[in-house]
Amino acid sequence: MLAACASSGAPVARIAEPQIAQAYLPLHARVHLGIDSADGAAVVVAPGIAVTNAHNANLVDPKSVIGKRRDYDLMFFRTQRGAPPDTAPVTVGSSVIAYGQGGGGGLRIARGVVREITQCQGCTAPAYFIFANDRRREDTAGPGFSGGPVLDTTGRLVGITFGYKDSGKTRLIYAYDMERVRAELSALQKPAN
C-alpha cells in the first residue's frame, strides 16, 4: 500500500540551493478541531504558480487553487513567488535530495538513489520515478514531504514527491518527474473546447 506523505527526514536549518530556497513553500494547517496539524510542501513551477499534491488541498487556500489533475495527485495554485528553479531530467542510479516539512514546521531533508522510472501507456512524459534509501536512516522521506521538491546533486529540480512505501529495510519514495508536472500544468491551462 502506497502511503501519503503526512515527520520524517533529517532536520536541516535551511535549503542549501538558493533557487530551491526561493521556490520552496512550506505548507501547514491545523486539522481535526485545531488539535492535530498537517504538514506538506509546494514548489514554484512557473511564474506565480506552485504545485503540491492534491491530497494537500486542506493545506492551501481554496481561493488560490487553479486546478487539480484527475489522473495524478497534483494540484496547482497561485502564489506571490515568481521564479521557478532550473529543472533537469531524472536518471536511474542518480543520487537525489528531497525537502519536506516535519511536525511543528521544521524543514527536513532526505537522500536516496533513483531506482526506477515508470512510463504510463501512451504518455510522452514519465508517469513517476522511485527513489530509495535505508528506512532505518534518519534522512528518509515520509510524512511531510508530500508536494516537496526532489533535486539532483547539482541542485536542479527533478521531481515532486507524492508518496512512499516501505519494502523490508528500504523505503521507496515516489515522485512525479518534472516533465510530467509541466505536462499536467499545460493540460490544465488549455482552454476547454
What is the total count of domains within the chain? 2
Q: How many CA atoms lie less than 13 Å away from 181 in the CB half-sphere?
A: 34
Q: What pLDDT does 183 receive? A: 92
Which of 15, 5, 86 shows the shortest CA–CA distance to 44? 86
Residues 163, 116 within the same domain: yes
Q: Are residues 69 and 113 in the same domain?
A: no
Look at residue 32 and tell me whether its pLDDT is greater than 60. Answer: no
Q: What is the pLDDT of residues 73-96, one digit of tens each?
A: 999 999 998 789 999 999 999 999
Q: How confident is the model at residue 31 (pLDDT cuts 50, 70, 90)?
A: low
Average pLDDT, the chain: 86
Contact in structure between 106 and 151 (CB atoms under 8 Å): no
Show the domain range for 158: 95-183
pTM of the shown model: 0.88
Q: Strand (E) positions, the chain?
A: 10-11, 24-31, 36-46, 49-52, 65-69, 74-78, 95-101, 107-119, 126-134, 149-151, 157-167, 170-177
Whether residue 100 sits in one domain with residue 70:
no
Of 141-145, 157-161, 163-167, which range is least confident?
Answer: 141-145
Does 5 reside within a domain?
no
Q: Is the pLDDT of residue 135 over 90?
A: no
